Amino acid sequence: MSNRSEYVVVANLASTGLGVKVAAALGFKFTTMICKQFADGENFHAFPEDIAGKALIIVASTHTESSHQELMDLIQGGRYYNAASVNVVIPYLGYSTMERAKRKRGYFEIPKGVTRTRQIFRARPDFVAFVDLHSEAVLHAHGGDISTKHIWTGELVVEHLQKMDIGEYVLVSPDYGFSKQVAKLASLLNCSHTAADKDRYDTDKTIVSQVSSVVKGKTAVICDDMIRTGGSIIQTAERCMDAGATGIAVLASHLVMAGGARQRFLDNSITKVIGSDSYPGRVSDDLLEVYSLAPLLAKILKGHLVIR
């Protein structure tokens, strides 16, 4: 496809802001879905134009039940109205930390990271891209007939950090599980990195025991794929200060910031949190430094769809 009128860019309601930015980066107009809610709570969706024979691009984070279902409806609507292809970008995948079926203490956890993603695949999109997944296991939750891509945001992070004035810094992973990604990022930034010793003893509870003295006299930039409640990050920050760090910054792709995380960060002298706009509603303010995924997502889509 070379005619720009042959592409339609839409988003679920929560990701509309990012969808508009992605469309602009692609040089396309953004198409706003017609949405209504009936008195009984049922939702009405309609494409405002004929999408038959066009490449449909959907930008949709699935951070809530309704956002997940809305994405399902958009994919299936694209199929129903004979889009030439249905291409999905999921900036933030809900339930992404539940990728394994755990059996312990008398319960059998449903691995919703996999089951929810399988629902998306069964709606028959042609292409699905995910951003900084907690685990790549979800990429394989289909029968091999769907093109998938895991987008790493490292190049955007490097670009953003190089513009910031935070002095000499060390990248710190809050656990060894994420240290490989942190090492990759540190190599691009040409800086030191280390990992904390962390043990998880309950669903949202961890203990961070120590951090290497490599942080001494430097700003510790604590890196993770997402900030949920911030508990382990705060513990890591405390251990970094114990090891001689002169300041703390936090870097994460997905700024969930649930359960009072923002206030806890402020109470613990963490004054800068850097992350993307993957999670709907996150914008820069006195604490958050938010960069947009739009240029990177547009680049990936251009490559996949061969847009010139």
Residues 148 and 8 in one domain: yes
Residues 166 and 54 in one domain: no
207-250 pLDDT tens trace: 555 577 889 999 999 999 999 999 889 999 998 999 999 999 99
Residues 182 and 99 in one domain: no
Residues 300 and 209 in one domain: no
Residues 76 and 32 in one domain: yes
Domain containing residue 245: 154-292
Number of domains in the chain: 2
Q: Comparing 253 with 165, which gets the higher pLDDT? A: 253
Residues 182 and 265 in one domain: yes
Residue 201 pLDDT level (bands cut at 50, 70, 90): very low
Q: Which CATH number characterizes residue 166's domain?
A: 3.40.50.2020
Hey, what amino acid is at 120?
I
Residues 171 and 105 in one domain: no
Concatenating the DSSP letter of every residue in 131-192 gives: ES-S-GGGGGSS-S-SEEEEE--HHHHHHHHHHS---SEEEEESSGGGHHHHHHHHHHHT--
Overall pTM > 0.85: yes
Residues 137 and 239 in one domain: no
